[in-house]
Structure 1
Amino acid sequence: MTNHISIGLIGLGGMANHHINLLSQLKNVSVSAVSDVNKEQLQMIGDKLNIPQNKRYEDYEELIKDSEVDAVISIVPNYLHAKIISDCIQHQKPIMTEKPFTLNFEEAAELKKQYEKQPIPCMVGFSYRYVASFRYAKDLLQQNKIGKLRHISVRYLQDWGIPAVQTPLTWRFKKALSGSGALGDLGSHMIDTARFFAGEFQHLKSLNTTFINKRASLDQTKQLEEVDVDDYSAFIAVLDHEIVGQFMTTRNAVGFSNALEVTLFGDEGTMEFSCERPDEISLIQFNHEQKTRDRTSLEVPLNYKRNQLEDFIDLINGVSPEDCPTFYDGYENQKVLHQILEDATITSEHEVIK
């Protein structure tokens, strides 16, 4: 019989509701402690989950130290990721941490040293591995449905950064708090998607830019302040087995709420799928007899649906689920993010074509 697992939830913003919902679908699991610096939010979520007052922490370190908390789910701004992971390693607490893995690669490298001395079950929130169409597409790829994979195209589009929305200067637009902009927030998912289907990045070239250079401050003055991170990032790469990848992400794509779109190109066919259509895949196959390109829409079988946090619970229980994004996936992802930022810095002074 599986022992009951008590989860401590750090960070009670919007994404916390998603994780609370996922946890509610699992047996022998419950949220037993919560933490947030926003006292009002802490009390509201605490009341919603019937958390005792002594298990509502303003200081997340106290939650991690709590002997009655079996594991941690951390949903906080990027600049806190490394410290919380480090504390969990120190106190040997399993953790599910949100992406990007850390603020920068220096933090990731330091964490790797700590982790290898005292490993813990650690999952990184690359949630699109749990979209049913993505999981089905990987199976079809391994079944050789489109032949040898040659190249992959990934784009991740949102529109909450466009001028008309008037999004103010939140922490996501500050390098000191986020590390990077659309790249770390959305691009980290694109990188993980490519690694999920095609393996490791070997080399790349990148271009980052910022369309909206100033945004209104969050204080009462509403004065315009500088944005010091990207809101558009594009890069090309060569991955394992000489697979070529092209990637683009922006928060300035009118009409796209949250669209991670993937195309896999093989010698014998193409697959197209999106997180916004989790139950279908468009498959194009070359018909050698008719010399035609036959397109079909595939319905994703139910068995490809999986609750992301099921894998986290399995990790805690000593099981290693296939394709579960672990500590090393977070580390490798951060390494690629670092390479993109380094290359974009080098190529930022553009030469005029004559």
Structure 2
Amino acid sequence: MTVNKVIRVGLIGLGGMADAHRRMISELEQLRLSALCDVNEELLHKVGEEEGIGKEKRFDEMESLIRDPDVDAIISIVPNDLHASVLELCIRHQKPIMAEKPFTLNFKEAEYLSERYEKTPIPCMVGFSYRYIPAFRYAKQLLEENKIGTVRHMEVRYLQSFGAPIFEVPYLWRFNKAVTGTGALGDLGAHMIDSARFLVGEFKSVSALMRTFVSERRDPASGSMHKVEVDDYASFHAELEHDVVGTFVTTRNAIGSGNQHEVTLYGDIGTIHVNCEKPDEVRISLVDGKELQTTNEILEVPPGYKRQQLEDFTALVTGQKQEGIPDFHDGYQNQKVLERIIESAETGQSVNIDE
């Protein structure tokens, strides 16, 4: 595709994060929202009117949108049980896609897709959005500059509070195993895994624990209690490339936490800490080589590390090479690690990623 050509985007799924993607599309001159798809007819027409999209480009069935010759690329914001279907259709119709995480509902779906993708690949980006936090990007550069020496271990946390019992959150799709696969692990833990892969490297083994704290939630439609089969909490130890070891914790029951995704990296001569809630700063501690005194400093992220996620999607669709774009391979590897974490939690044993 020509680098400067306007890319006509079809958006599938208009709930949840769709508003954020609509805003991001509007910020880039090269992207134009040209088609919509959702099973909620009222929402479909409401957004269609807001975006000035004709009724002929408002679809209630996703394959009709994907195969539309007037659509150049797809952005998919659908529940987890539909992720594999959207990806398979895009591979079949050779349409570039930005898909949400987790990559698929389970690893079996990921393997099925991989077989088809290898035969007829497409530009595919997976929505690991924390790669686009300026602090995380700057931290990666500091690591590449060996700023804290050899990295020995890391701590990664992703904490939210909305699922805590006191809030009495009803039974939503995120608590339905058939739709979501896992709870906090796939929703939040997938981002933790990607941050570790982005900053350090591949996972080699995991040892995990998962728990469901709220075993029943009230169904808003019937008013009756519904059993919850997905996790509210997941933690795991991991061995990564370069002999780095890591501890990871995620939960939706952390009172006082809003959307707290943070990474701490410990090296031989220093420590780097980043937090998505402070996107423009990196906290660094370094040992002075002469006095052996530790300095603590907050670094403001320099210009040049801010990049909108869909800028990279545009680059991918138009064939421009950009380092660090989360692609099909990243989604597949992420799903493999998720699978091994579940296996470890179920067996109570450490599991190698590439068994």
TM-score (norm 2): 0.96
Matched, 1:37 2:36: no
Partner of 1:351: none
Partner of 1:107: 109
Aligned sequence identity (%): 52
Give the 5 Å matches for 1:191-270. Answer: 191-219=193-221, 221-270=222-271
Mapped to 2, the partners of 1:270 and 1:299 lie a distance apart of 16
Mapped to 1, the partners of 2:320 and 2:343 lie a distance apart of 37
User: One-letter code of the match for 1:316?
Assistant: V
Mapped to 1, the partners of 2:332 and 2:128 lie a distance apart of 12
Matched, 1:275 2:268: no
User: One-letter code of the match for 2:182?
Assistant: S
Partner of 1:134: 136
Partner of 1:327: 328
User: Post-superposition shift, 1:320?
Assistant: 2.6
User: Post-superposition shift, 1:40?
Assistant: 1.2
Mapped to 1, the partners of 2:220 and 2:240 lie a distance apart of 41
Mapped to 2, the partners of 1:335 and 1:18 lie a distance apart of 28
User: Post-superposition shift, 1:262?
Assistant: 0.6
Partner of 2:70: 68
Give the 5 Å matches for 1:335-354. Answer: 335-347=336-348
Which segments of 5 or more consecutive residues in structure 1 lack a partner in the other structure? Answer: 349-354
User: Post-superposition shift, 1:60?
Assistant: 1.1
User: Post-superposition shift, 1:27?
Assistant: 1.4
TM-score (norm 1): 0.97
Partner of 2:54: 52
Mapped to 1, the partners of 2:346 and 2:30 lie a distance apart of 48
SS at match of 2:319: coil
Partner of 2:353: none
User: Post-superposition shift, 1:288?
Assistant: 2.3
Which segments of 5 or more consecutive residues in structure 2 lack a partner in the other structure? Answer: 350-355
User: Post-superposition shift, 1:292?
Assistant: 1.1
SS at match of 1:203: strand
User: Post-superposition shift, 1:6?
Assistant: 0.2
User: One-letter code of the match for 1:295?
Assistant: N
User: Post-superposition shift, 1:28?
Assistant: 2.1
What is the CA deviation profile of residues 137-179 of structure 1, one whole-angstrom value per residue up to 9, with x for unaligned ones?
0001111110011111100000110112211111111111111
Matched, 1:190 2:211: no
Aligned pair partner of 1:85 in 64, 84, 87: 87
Partner of 1:8: 10
User: Post-superposition shift, 1:59?
Assistant: 0.7
After the TM superposition, list the runs of 4 or more consecutive aligned residues in structure 1 that deviate by more than 4 angstroms: none
User: Post-superposition shift, 1:328?
Assistant: 0.3
Mapped to 2, the partners of 1:14 and 1:123 lie a distance apart of 19
What count of residue pairs does the alignment treat as equivalent?
347
SS at match of 1:14: coil
Supply the RMSD in Å over aligned alpha carbons: 0.9
User: One-letter code of the match for 1:135?
Assistant: R
